[in-house]
Structure 1
Amino acid sequence: MKLLSVKPGEEVIDALTRRAAEEGITNGAIVSLIGAVDECAISNMPADDASTDIVNEYRQPFELSGTGEIRDGKVHVHVVLGREGDVALAGHLHRARVETFFVHAYTLPLQQG
């Protein structure tokens, strides 16, 4: 298992993509994602069109947990985000910015061959 960390001042998807490449991870599972972000963009699908994304942006702190995958070097993550008022949001993570805390991705690389 490899730990990929996102530090304050970094964008989550970009940082995870870079760190996976540095570790030589082209394909693998992100079995656990945990941390907090200060802003983000997530998407869900409209009820009548599963091929379309509705992207919503949020500029406030969130607790974050999730899972995902790395396929051909591309990071794909689904998250649950908790915000003030005990409200949870969920969806596909397009981007998120860490400023205050961190995000840790516990990753299992797929064996080649």
Structure 2
Amino acid sequence: MQVFEVKNGELISELEAQIREAGIIDAAIVSLIGAADEFTISTMPAHDASTDIVNRYVLPAEMHGCGEVRGGKVHLHATMAVQGDHAVAGHLHAAVIGEWFGRAYVIPA
């Protein structure tokens, strides 16, 4: 297992760069943990699973999730816990890390 950490920047692009530098092309991301200052996440509408409803949230959130690396591209599903003990979950498109960190535990295929 390898651990990749983003302390400041956009989580997915930074993880992809670190994973590429490590020579990993395919892998399981068995755990994602940390907190984001803002994030973009999507879910599928009930009437059309082939499309996404994408929402950007400019508020801090505790973060956990998992995913995979396929062909060097990071694909994450996450639950973002926001103020009021609410959760926003789905496919994570972006997460800005600044105040805390984002850490991914990765097992290469």
Same fold (TM over 0.5): yes
TM-score (norm 2): 0.99
- Cα offset for 1:61? 0.3
Tell me the equivalent position of 1:88: 87
Tell me the equivalent position of 2:7: 7
Taking the TM superposition and a 5 Å limit, the aligned residue runs for 1:46-61 are 46-61=45-60
- Cα offset for 1:105? 0.1
Give 1:61's aligned amino acid: P
Number of aligned residue pairs: give it: 109
- Cα offset for 1:7? 1.1
Give 1:73's aligned amino acid: G
Tell me the equivalent position of 1:33: 32
1:82 partner SS: strand
2:15 partner SS: helix
Residues 2-61 of structure 1, C-alpha deviation per residue, up to 9 Å, x if partnerless? 0011112x1011001001001111000000000000001000000000000000000000
2:23 partner SS: coil
Give 1:5's aligned amino acid: E
Q: Which runs of 4+ in 1 moved over 3 A?
A: none
1:14 partner SS: helix
Unpaired runs of 5+ residues, structure 1, are none
TM-score (norm 1): 0.95
Tell me the equivalent position of 1:79: 78
Give 2:108's aligned amino acid: P
**What's the % identity of the aligned pairs?**
52
Unpaired runs of 5+ residues, structure 2, are none
Give 1:7's aligned amino acid: K
